[in-house]
C-alpha cells in the first residue's frame, strides 16, 4: 500500500500537468491561426500564421496562404515566396520557401527557438535568399511570451 502523501502528490500532478500544458499552448495562441496583414498589391490574398509551443522550448510555426498571385506577377525576377522571421534584436532569417500549388495555395511548417518575432513573406528569385530583395506581401507579429 502506498503512503497517503504519494497518492496526493500523484493526484496533484495528474490534475496540474494538463493545466500547465494548456497554459503554455495558450501563451503561443493555442495554434489558432492569426490573420497576416496583406500588402496593398495583393488585396485578394489571404494568409494565416499559427505558433504553438514545441519541444525543448521551441516554437512550431505554420504558415498558410491562399489566393496569392504567382511570385513572378508580383516581381518579374521572382520564382518563389520566402518566409522570414525577425526576432527582436536579431537579424531577419530565411526559414524556408513557400511554393504555390496550381490553385494558388501554399504552406510552410517550420520550427524556431524564438517566441517573439515578426513574420514576413516576400517574392524572391531563389528560395535560399540571404536577405529580402522585395517588399513583403504578408506580415504578422507573433508574441508567444
Q: Kindly indicate the confidence band of residue 43, based on its pLDDT and cuts at 50, 70 and 90.
A: confident
Q: Which sequence spans correspond to the domains of the chain?
A: 4-143
Residue 82 has pLDDT above 90, yes or no: yes
pLDDT in tens, 85-112: 999 889 999 999 998 899 999 999 999 9
Residue 76 has pLDDT above 60, yes or no: yes
Q: What is the pLDDT of residue 32?
A: 77
- In CATH terms, 4-143 corresponds, of 3.30.2420, 2.60.40, 1.10.3470, 1.10.490, to 2.60.40
Rounded Cα distance between 6 and 77, Å, is 66
Q: How far is CA 90 from CA 58, 116, 117, in A?
A: 16, 11, 9
Residue 75 has pLDDT above 70, yes or no: yes
How much is the pTM? 0.76
Rounded Cα distance between 135 and 118, Å, is 14
Amino acid at each position: 500500500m502506498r503512503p497517503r502523501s504519494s497518492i496526493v502528490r500523484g493526484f496533484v500532478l495528474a490534475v496540474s500537468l494538463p493545466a500547465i500544458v494548456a497554459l503554455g499552448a495558450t501563451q503561443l495562441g493555442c495554434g489558432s491561426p492569426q490573420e497576416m496583414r496583406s500588402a496593398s498589391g495583393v488585396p485578394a490574398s489571404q494568409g494565416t500564421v499559427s505558433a504553438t509551443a514545441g519541444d525543448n522550448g521551441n516554437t512550431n510555426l505554420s504558415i498558410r496562404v491562399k489566393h496569392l498571385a504567382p511570385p513572378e506577377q508580383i516581381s518579374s525576377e521572382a520564382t518563389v515566396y520566402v518566409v522570414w522571421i525577425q526576432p527582436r534584436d536579431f537579424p531577419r532569417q530565411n526559414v524556408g520557401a513557400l511554393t504555390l500549388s496550381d490553385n494558388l495555395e501554399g504552406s510552410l511548417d517550420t520550427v524556431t527557438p524564438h517566441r517573439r518575432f515578426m513574420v514576413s513573406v516576400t517574392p524572391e528569385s531563389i528560395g535560399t535568399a540571404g536577405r529580402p530583395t522585395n517588399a513583403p506581401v504578408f506580415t504578422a507579429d507573433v508574441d508567444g511570451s
